[in-house]
Amino acid sequence: MKYFLDTEFIEAPNTIDLISIGIKCKDGRTFYAESTCFDERKANQWVKENVISNLLWYGNPNSEYALTLNANTSQEKTEVFGTLDVIRDKVIDFVGDDTPEFWGYYADYDWVVFCWLFGKMIDLPKKFPMYCRDLKQLADDIGKPKFTAPKGEHNALVDAIWNESFYNYLTGETMNSRDEEKESVDKTNYEVKAGVKQLHKLLTGMRFEVLRKNEKCKYNCEGVVKTCYNVFPRTLLSLLNREYPERSLEWYVEKAYFIYKELQETYLKVLCDDCQMKDSIPGIIDIDQIKKIVENITEH
């Protein structure tokens, strides 16, 4: 199961001191912990103003946890105010027997300070991975889509919950609000255009290679067009199928429709200016034909 992770920490020479940690599980449960072990004197002014001053329990005389170490656990959430050992044990309880898949955002330091809860890398619990997946890398692969920062950012749990929302946005999963649904559509356009851009690059390279080997432009361009229709679109959809295997048929149809629509412009860019093949380029494939193609892909 997916676990979305964020930490707040003090970055000092040769060490990273944990301040707080937030985890949002895909099943809806949350984990939030504040450490009692960090040295506030090591923190720079930015961390003091934006992180430490906003902690729920540390340094808050009105908090029920202010004078005692404590941990509250329910079906929905786990809250911890304690030492690193206590936080470690509660993380293990939170994950339980699950095989977790951790996700973070710019997660390098988050992952290091998280792993240090357990000691060395080889001391991680048996089912824990030795790496964290990074939403920033996923966003770059898709085309660097924008996503609004959360209110109350730099609180570890707020940011962990935002990480899950960002993941949903990047992968096209169902959102709750209308604004988020619109952002999901925008993301789809980013993704498809990124794929078509790569396709155009490949086709352009193929065209030059074919022209180099042959003299009759008509046959060269005809081969390119056939490749456009028969190979690359299906390959692109197959990759989407492997990357997002739990999507509905309608989801794939939408992707395919955008791809084929964009391919019409791609044809015109790839073919030579005086090529007779331009006159034989068909119109946009209708949605029923796309559905048949997608059904064939998703069945395999």
pLDDT digits (tens, 9 = 90+) for 35-61: 988 999 999 999 999 999 889 888 765
Look at residue 260 in the predicted model and tell me its pLDDT: 62
Asked whether residue 194 carries a pLDDT value surpassing 80, the answer given is no
Per-residue pLDDT, averaged over 3-31, amounts to 94
Last residue of a domain, one of 171, 194, 215: 171
Higher pLDDT, 247 or 210: 247
11 and 157 together in one domain? yes
164 and 35 together in one domain? yes
| C-beta of residue 7 within 8 angstroms of C-beta of residue 110 | yes
34 and 94 together in one domain? yes
CATH code (residue 19)? 3.30.420.10
Asked whether residue 253 carries a pLDDT value surpassing 90, the answer given is no
Last residue of a domain, one of 121, 154, 171: 171
Residue 138: CA atoms inside 13 Å, Cβ hemisphere, count? 21
231 and 107 together in one domain? no
Structural domain count of the chain: 2
Per the structure block, which two tokens stand in for 166?
């960002």
- Kindly indicate the confidence band of residue 140, based on its pLDDT and cuts at 50, 70 and 90: confident
40 and 71 together in one domain? yes
8 and 39 together in one domain? yes
71 and 122 together in one domain? yes
Per-residue pLDDT, averaged over 92-97, amounts to 95
Asked whether residue 20 carries a pLDDT value surpassing 70, the answer given is yes
Higher pLDDT, 78 or 211: 78
Strand (E) or helix (H) holding 265: helix 249-270
Last residue of a domain, one of 171, 203, 226: 171
Give this prediction's pTM.
0.57
Look at residue 72 in the predicted model and tell me its pLDDT: 74
- Kindly indicate the confidence band of residue 170, based on its pLDDT and cuts at 50, 70 and 90: confident
Per-residue pLDDT, averaged over 218-226, amounts to 56
Strand (E) or helix (H) holding 77: strand 77-82
Look at residue 278 in the predicted model and tell me its pLDDT: 52
Q: Do the strands 15-25 and 70-73 form a parallel or antiparallel pair, or are they unpaired?
A: unpaired
Structural domain span for residue 273: 178-299
